[in-house]
Amino acid sequence: MREITHKLAFAHDGSAPRHGDVFDPNNGVVQARVPLGDAALLDRAVAAAHAAQPAWAAMNPQRRARVLFRFKQLVEDNMQSLAELLSSEHGKVVDDAKGDIQRGLEVVEFCCGIPHMLKGEYTQGAGPGIDVFSMRQPLGVGAGITPFNFPAMIPMWMFATAVAVGNCFILKPSERDPSVPVRLVELFLEAGAPEGVLQCVHGDKEMVDAILDHPGIAAVSFVGSSDIAHYVYRRSTEAGKRVQAMGGAKNHGIVMPDADMDQTVADLMGAAFGSAGERCMALPVVVPVGEDTADRLREKLVAAMGTLRVGVSTDPDAHYGPVVTAQHKQRVEQWIQTGIDEGAELVVDGRGFTLQGHEQGYFVGPTLFDRVTTDMTAYKEEIFGPVLQMVRAANFEEALALPTRHQYGNGVALFTRNGHAAREFVSRVQVGMVGINVPIPVPVSYHSFGGWKRSGFGDHNQYGMEGVRFWTKVKTVTQRWPDGGATGDSAFIIPTMG
């Protein structure tokens, strides 16, 4: 059985009082063991990071960028093996795993331009002989706590920006699929980063709490469920840390009567069922406007779902693979039963799905509900599986109100040919990321990712310039260089209380 290790800047014998099992979701077999670290292990990792950070921060930004350039090339060189490893632990198909890695690399590419983003501001002649300038400096040591659903992309969202600006970083990935994060740290060190700049620790709640409480960690970045995101935000801020905590979602897709119905259905197949629905930017709620639109959409959805191929993660023809664990499969199927009990119409039932030869795998077939209403618990909460719910709206205003009033505000999409409707929707909907005829509106790396309401806690989004601002603090300098004699000029005066 494969043994996963911490990736640390100091010698560690690999022993741990506790271990977790890492499963192959295609067949339910334990394929690896991961050590679950504790506060004492974290103390040593933080000490190593603090020892490395001053020299890393003092390195000029273009040299740090060169490490990122080499890291990017190494990840690309190892793309196939990384994708296969990711797929074997998560269950997403290999092509989807490559997309996971590629979207993370796009943030690395953005961070390769970090010298430009750290230039600061300058004002000459703010007063007689007075110049004022500001600079962005690193926080020190940061930490990231990442979820199982994107074990490559989300770690790179966090650590690429954090280290580019001069911080050292400690990554705590999900214990469900930890191998790819370890490989990313190894490749970063191979790219030329000094020991201690980027480390990986494993663990469960004990390690998470140690990170949130540790006085040597200045900032924490988190992605996961909303309840845990709120917990991370509250506990970390109480400890005096800077925090960005991204939570769950219930993204809606509004389908106007004039939408290109065939394209919309094709988009929904990928957005609702891709990666088995285990994405915070999945589109699990579709809102057709008008009964005729709903009836046409339902007919096409049922036909398209019949063509979806659920297979093992190595099947090149599969549209999606298993969910991550047996417990998660049970949870998704319980939500399907809840939808039935609450009165929704089950149109396509994905429960009980099995593959010959993989009967112990964690597979859930594509599922469709119609006539879902906003008072149903199954509508209010995040299911995080291959389940699509249809909520019928009578008109545009009713459709607009659904994502606006929902407790989550991560992403939303509008499918229409009407420019005025799209403009009105973008202006008024209370959601952080909006797509117009784009079903999964994840912003490109030079913008930023972040939801509203219970989808995001903290004042800064992930990556882009928002990420640079999160991982730095501003220092402003006001300076005067006398010309050798006192002029007595008092035109530049700092107000005081008299």
* Strand-strand pairing, 130-138 and 472-480: antiparallel
Is residue 21 packed enough to be buried (19+ CB in 10 Å), middle (13-18) or exposed (0-12)? Answer: middle
**Residue 207: other Cβ atoms inside 10 A:** 20
Q: Is 280 a catalytic residue?
A: yes
Closest among 115, 170, 118, 113 to 140, alpha carbons compared = 170
- Per the CB < 8 A criterion, the answer to whether 324 and 151 are in contact is no
E strands, 154-259, are 168-172, 198-200, 219-223, 242-246, 252-255
Closest among 255, 228, 55 to 146, alpha carbons compared = 228
Helix (H) or strand (E) run with residue 303 in it: helix 291-305
Q: Nearest 5 degrees, angle CA 99-CA 111-CA 124?
A: 155
Give the active site residue among 111, 112, 200, 280.
280
Long-range contacts of 93-96 (CB under 8 A, 24+ apart): 93/311, 93/313, 93/314, 93/315, 93/316, 93/318, 93/319, 93/320, 93/321, 94/313, 94/314, 94/316, 95/316, 96/274, 96/275, 96/320
In which residue are the tokens 């040299």 written?
A: 63
Report the b/e string of 186-204 with b at 16+ CB within 10 A.
ebbbebebbebbbbbbbbe
**Residue 216: other Cβ atoms inside 10 A:** 15
Helix (H) or strand (E) run with residue 370 in it: strand 367-370
Amino acid identity of residue 353, one-letter, is F
**What is the set of active-site residues?**
280
